Each structure stands twice: as C-alpha cells, then as structure tokens.
Chains A and B, each alone.
Chain A
C-alpha cells in the first residue's frame, strides 16, 4: 500500500526545515509588505515607527513563544486572552496593596502559571481535548474576572519600575521588546538544543512512542501548558503597565492573534513540527500589516480582515509546497 512512500525522493532535512521554504515564503511576504508600505507611506521606515511596531510585537511574541512549544506538543491553549486580562487585574491589585513590583509580578506569574497548570491537568489527567478544555477555562476566566472586579483596577502607585515595565527604554529599545527578546531566545535555545526541546517535538509527533520509550509524556505536556501560562503572566503585567490599570476587558481576541502568528510561522496544529523562528516571522507579518493599515489611513476594521486573509493564503501556500515536495 505504500508504493509512493517507499520510493519517494529524499525530502528536506531538518536543517533545511528550519530555514525551509515555509520560512522563506513568510520572509518574502514580510519583505514585500515592508517595501509596499514604505513606497505608499515613507514614514513607515522612521525609527519611531519601527520601535512602535516592535513594541506591538512584544506582547504577542512573549505569549507566542510559549504557545509554539505547546502547539508543538499537539495541544493548544485558547484561554490566554482571557487569562491576560485577569492577570493584569490581579497583578495590579496586589501591587496596589503591597506597593511591591516583585510581589505584584509574583502574584501575576502564580496566577497565570496556575491557569496553565489547571489547563494541563484537565488535558493530561481528565483527558479532555485541549481545544474544549481551554475554551472552558476561557469562559471561566472571562466571567471570573468580573467577579473579581467590575471595573478597571487603577494604578494607585507611582512605582517607576512598574511604569518602566511597559513604557521604559534601555537605550533606544523599549523594555517590553527586551523582555520579549529574552523569552524568545530562551525558548528558542530550549527547543533547538536541549533534550527537553527534543522531547517536546517527540511528544507532539507520537505520544505513544514517547511513553513506550520510558518518558513521561504527560509531564512534558504539562510543562508546555505551564510555560505558556507563565508567558501570559509576563505579558499581562506589561499590558497593565502600558494601560496603567488592570483592564478586565483587555485581551479580547488576543488568543487568536497569538495562535495565528504561530500557525502562520509554519507550526503544525497536529504537533511535532514547527519552529520559533517561524513564529517570530509570523508575529512580524501580522504586526506590520496592523501598522501598515494605520499608517496608510485605511479603515481600521481591516486590521482583523487582512490577517484572516493572510492566514488562509499562507496555509494554502504551505499545503501546495508540501504537495510539491511529496510528489
């Protein structure tokens, strides 16, 4: 039954996969977008605008780094948007009552990490499909945040360090961009060079094989859920710093942007395949489109429409490319 697979020609190597045509296509799309926008609106290439784009990317990239790991293990977390809002409110409230950034941060991480742990346990122990489980968590969090606070939790502090978290700079580089870069690099190195990273791919590629090899597949998935949660904690605190308040309504649709960036970057929802570098490109493409629409003065509702089109197009291109490779 396997005439084809038996004789088919060699396919791309892993080395080739990393900078494989998936990323190449995305890189070209990104370049084309940048060129086209800057021809239409030269201010696109101003330093201020580039920094603005990077800052926009930071929040998404932080969560997308965790999400890439999670999707590589063949699970997904749809609760990150709702968790983002909740975490901001909790962090802000703790900050207000303790006047300590460290404690606020700790509370945010504990909460978001806890959400990740909860998701992970529901998926690995109760064996509820992660799509369904995290939709459930999302609803619980969306409702729960209003039980916690009916309105935005205002910042009652004048903590410089907290304001810097979202609005500060180191040299010319915004603090959120530095945090995002740091988290990205850690995640990249983990996926690329460590045993843990290899096991994450393995669990996504074939969980039963991983179990038979004497590894604890559930723990690996649990780990990816918790890491995703922790990333949400960091992003949530940055967001509340930027808004100078914990907003229960923040983060609507955030999970879609994050997952879209990961998928756009070539990570397979089926697990076992994907790269963080692709995710980075995916985030950049989505945010450059956002920025372009604003700069060009287009209707802002297109900010949702265009990325939707891009995702379908990019995924379709990937399918075509795969077919060309197989045949």
Chain B
C-alpha cells in the first residue's frame, strides 16, 4: 500500500466525463429468483448518489456485486472507463470500491489503527510492523474526513457511528474512488446522523463517488445529488434529486400511489382507563414514569435514541424487572411482575426486534400465529389442529397476509407480513392493552400503511394501544395523545392538537 492518501488531488485528477464507476446490463439470478434484471448504474466522482427501493428491490444484491460478495451473471463493470473483473471482495477493494455494510465488518478486538491497515501494515526494519507510523497515518486520515477517533482505541468499544468512521478512513487508506454506505443511519442518533452527513459531503468534495443506500426519504432529500430507484430487480429511474418530490419517489419505489398513509377510521377514544402506570422506575433507565392509556386510544411515545422507550415497553408488559412503581391493567395490579401475569391480565408487547424476540423463524406461519393462544385450541392438552388452522387462516385472510400457505416457515415472509403474523398472535390471544414498539421498523413503504391501518383498527376495536416510535410522521399520524421521553423520564404528555414537531422535539431534548 502506498501512502498517497495523505495527499489527495495529486495524481488523482478526475476526468469529469468518464464515470467513476459504470455498471451496465447487470443480471443476477438465484435459483427461482431474478434478483437483478439488466440493471444500469452509473456513478460520477464527487457526487452523492442515493440508491433506493423496497426490501427485495435488488439494492443489496447490486452493492454486493460491487463489493465482490456475489458474482454477476451478465453485464460489465467499468472503473473510470476501464473494464474490470471483480471476483472477490479483495478485487473490489483493489479496484477502489469500498462498501461500508450495515453490519460493520471490523475486528472488534483490534485497535482502530490496526483495523484501518488490516490489509497491509507498513513495515519498518526487518519486516517488523511500524506501529508509530500506523497510528500517525490513521490520525492523518481522520483529519482528512474531519472526524477524530482515537487510533489506539479498541474498535469494539466504540459506538457504531465511530466504527463507520473507521470504515470510511479505511476506504481512504485504500484510495477508494467509490464509497458505498449501506443504510448507514439505521442505528444512529440524530446528532450522529448530521456528523455522518458532514463526513459524506467531505468524501464527495475529495472527488469520491458516494453511493448512499437508504429507504428513508428525508435523508435522501437532504444529502443526495442523484437518486436511482430499483424495483423488483429492475432499474426504474435515475434523476437529479431536484426533480423528485416525496410522492414521486414513493411512486417509483412501490409502483403505485399511496393516497393516505394514515387512514383513520376509528372513533374517539373511550373513557375507560385500560392501563395505569404510576411512578415506575427501573434500575438502569426509567425514572418515575406515570401515565394512563384508555381503551380505544393510541398513546404515542416519542423519544430520541436512548430515551428509554423500549425499556418502558418491556417493563410495563412484565418482561424486564422494575425497581419500584405500579402497573395496573384493566383494574388489576401486574403482580407478580412477569409476562405470564401480564398476558393473563391482557397486556402484550409487539417487539421492535422481530427476529430475536418475536418470530420463531424456522417454524411455520400457523405456529407463530397461535403461540400465545394455543391453550384455547387444546382439549386435555391435545391441540385441535383443524380448529387452530381455521382460526389462523381467518387472520391470514382478514389481514391479507401474503404467504403461500400456513405451513410456510415464517422467516421466508417479508417484514410487513411477519409483522402482521405477530399482530395476529396477540389478537388471537385477546388483549386489553397492546404495546407496539417501532411497529414499522424494517418494513417497506407500501406495507407500512397497512400496518398503520391495523393499528388504527386495534384501537377501533377497543384496545388501548401504547406505541413507541422514533418516526415523527408515524407519531403525528396515528396517536391521539403524545408522550415524550428523555433519558428515562417522561417530559411531556400532550394531546394531538397541542402537539407540533417543535414542542415534541423540545420535550425530547429535555
């Protein structure tokens, strides 16, 4: 590895007419699936190019081909006009393409500097590694992107946001001409996002072509110069961001219009208090939280990352222990504090982390749906499968869950359909209070409106819905009342009419 990266511009003159990277007619098939069908994708140096599309649109496949993780079945790849053959991640890096995946691929036990120079440590006398130089060079790289990370820190001890910076520094160390950021903001706080954006703009200023993969519209409008949309493995459009509006972008992504993302059909909330939480504290996070939720109401909880929403959700359903305070569901105290009692009283959690806390991926759809209500289908401990299947089929039809059959392993369903299966799990059990935590995380734009409609219906059927969310539109679109949290405390409760983005954010900052 040379040390040219310390002096950008020299020998790195960019010919504006020749694209930094040009993919033409890319095909990729997996048995039974066409993942990419004749896709073109062209990147200019110095520009930020957003790559958008729903889950399954082909974004990941395309960037994995650029990264050398997958081979392409047809098509050509040119770097600055020269056709290249990328067969492995190593080839990709050598050609100057650096992909920063969502799951960051750094060795967590190594220091930051070691990770940056993983592929070739500078050596000194007798082939020994020149540690001083590694540290100094690393610091210089961070200087260039305008973000400082301690080169001697153990990588695993850093927050994701800083690990991303290490990956970006690595890209510079390899003199990357193309940097791909795959859903980089999914676990960042708003503050970290704006820092990341500054760094990304800096990369572009250095003449690097940046690919920004995301499905968050507001971010794309903020940072991208150009947007390419894929759908069902096909190239749909490439346009300057200025030619797009929210609506046109959504339309390109899902192939149809969504007239009303938040259909409201339910009536006004009732007056009966279904959930009453008083002075709730936990050992780690929650501090003296009190509120009530009424039957037929959607109570939205907003907060920034780390505000304690998920902690609250898990505490009030009896999943995580509490230090003090009381929880009353439908007039009865949640004592002893466990999920068995909670579900018995009629409170359940729709988790934010479907894969690790909700789904039984290997098991079929029907077993996932009936998990909480299996006892109701049993006689003397034996499951009446016919009755169980009928009941599940009923929900599959009503919720329009797209699955080839009840016997399909649930892991093969899309995120939206998985979420519907988990909602069905609770409705089959029959609840008084449902706590939904980030109900649309990892769900396509098209399926989101269906989930919103379901939440509206839950409240319409008389459940109290306690919704934890970090998405402002979701909050304002669905909630009857809005509660705001900051660092484990409840800082405001307001009605939908009083709420504005501004006073919500003010309360969230504390």
Interface residues of A, Cβ cutoff 8 Å to B: 1-11, 13-16, 193-196, 198-199, 201-202, 205-206, 208-216, 268, 272-273, 327
Contact = CB atoms under 8 A, between A and B. Distances in A.
Interface string B84-119: 000000000000000000100000000000000000
B480 to A, nearest CB: 25
Given A1-B55, A2-B56, A3-B58, A211 B412 contact: no
B356 A212 contact: no
A214 B55 contact: no
B339 A4 contact: no
27 contacts: A1-B183, A2-B55, A3-B35, A3-B56, A3-B58, A4-B35, A5-B411, A10-B412, A11-B409, A11-B412, A194-B383, A195-B378, A195-B383, A202-B363, A202-B367, A202-B371, A205-B360, A205-B361, A206-B356, A206-B357, A206-B359, A209-B359, A209-B371, A213-B371, A214-B340, A214-B343, A268-B362
Interface stretch (B26-34, B163-171, B188-196, B322-330): B26-34
A319 to B, nearest CB: 15
Interface in B198-214: none
Contact of B374 (A7, A15, A198, A272): A198
Contacts of B382: 193-195
Interface string B350-362: 0100001111111
Interface of B: 30-33, 35, 55-61, 102, 183, 317, 319, 339-340, 342-344, 348-349, 351, 356-364, 367, 371-372, 374-375, 378, 381-383, 404-405, 407-409, 411-412, 414-415, 425, 429
- Of the candidates A15, A208, A216, A273, the one having the most CB atoms from chain B within 10 angstroms of its own CB is A208
B383 A15 contact: no
A10 B362 contact: no
Contacts of B102: 1
Given A3-B56, A209-B358, A214 B33 contact: no
Main secondary structure of the interface of A (DSSP, over half): helix
B408 A10 contact: yes
B339 A213 contact: yes
* Interface-central residue, B60, B358, B407, by most chain A CB under 10 Å: B407
Given A10-B404, A199-B374, A205 B362 contact: yes
Nearest to A270: B362
B328 to A, nearest CB: 18
Given A202-B371, A212-B339, A213-B372, 17 more contacts: A2-B55, A5-B411, A5-B412, A6-B55, A194-B381, A195-B375, A195-B383, A196-B381, A198-B374, A198-B383, A208-B357, A209-B357, A211-B319, A211-B339, A273-B362, A327-B31, A327-B32
A194 B60 CA distance: 42
Contacts of B411: 5
A108 B407 CA distance: 42
Contacts of A6: 55-56, 414
Contact of B56 (A7, A199, A208, A268): A7
A201 B381 contact: no
A325 to B, nearest CB: 10
Given A3-B60, A199-B374, A214 B348 contact: yes
A11 B411 CA distance: 11
Contact of B33 (A1, A8, A268): A8
Contacts of A1: 55, 60, 102, 183
Contacts of A209: 357-360, 371
Contacts of B31: 327
A195 B374 contact: yes
B32 A193 contact: no
Given A209-B357, A272-B362, A327 B55 contact: no
B363 A2 contact: no
Contacts of A194: 378, 381-383
B405 A10 contact: yes
Contacts of A195: 374-375, 378, 381-383
Contacts of A211: 319, 339
Given A5-B412, A8-B412, A14 B349 contact: no
B168 to A, nearest CB: 20
Would you list the 7 A-B pairs with minimal beta carbon distance, nearest first?
A214-B343, A13-B407, A205-B360, A6-B56, A213-B372, A10-B404, A208-B357
Contact of B344 (A8, A14, A214): A214
Contacts of A11: 408-409, 412
Contacts of B339: 211-215
A8 B374 contact: no
B216 to A, nearest CB: 15
Nearest to B360: A205
Contacts of A205: 360-363
B375 A198 contact: no
Contacts of B183: 1
A234 to B, nearest CB: 22
B417 to A, nearest CB: 10
A268 B342 CA distance: 32
A262 B319 CA distance: 33
B311 to A, nearest CB: 15
A212 B357 CA distance: 8
